[in-house]
Amino acid sequence: MEITLEYWNALARQTILISSLLSGFSINVVANLIVSDKNDKLTNRILKSATLSAGCYLVTVFSMVQISMLTTPGGFVRDVVEADFMLPRAIGMFTFMLGLVALTVMISLSGWTKSKKVGRFTTTVGILTFLLILMTMIKFEL
C-alpha cells in the first residue's frame, strides 16, 4: 500500500511538533547544566546526552520541515513523489530515534545525582519509557 503525500504531510507536521517540544526541553536541561557549578563525571554525561538529544531533535525538525514543504499542495510546480524526500525522511527518522535514546539516557542518569535509590528508580523509568515508546512505534505482526 502506497502512502499518500497528504499522510506524509500530516506525519511530518506531527513529528515537527513532538521534536520541537523535546528539543526545547533538552536545550533547557543543557542550559541549566552549563550554568551549574557541578563538574563531575555524571553531570558531564547528563550534559552530553542532553546536548545530543537537543541536536538530534533540531535536525529532525528541519528534516520534517523539508518533507512538509514538499508535500504541501501547491508548494511546488512539479509533481512530487516519495523518492523526492527519501533523504530527509531517513535523516529525520534516524535523528528522532537517536534523540529518543539520548533523552531516555538523560532521564535514566538524572536520579543518580541524588542517591542510589533515586538512581535505580529513574533508570527503571527510563528503560520502561523507551521500551513502551518502541512498542507503540513498531508494528508487531503475528
CATH number of the domain at 75, please: 1.20.140
What integer is the mean pLDDT of 115-121?
A: 95
The per-residue pLDDT for range 66-116, each reduced to its tens digit, is 999 888 877 666 677 778 889 999 999 999 999 999 999 999 999 999 999
Please tell me the total count of domains within the chain: 1
Cα(first)–Cα(last) distance of the chain, in Å?
A: 19
Within-domain flag for 86: yes
- Which residue range(s) make up the domain with 63? 5-137
Q: Which of 15-24, 51-60, 72-81, 101-110 is predicted with the least confidence, judged by mean pLDDT?
A: 72-81
**Cut 0.75: pTM above it:** yes
Within-domain flag for 142: no
pLDDT at 137 over 90: no
Residue 42 · residue 109 · CB < 8 Å:
yes
**CA-CA distance, 108 to 105, in Å (whole number)?**
5
Within-domain flag for 113: yes
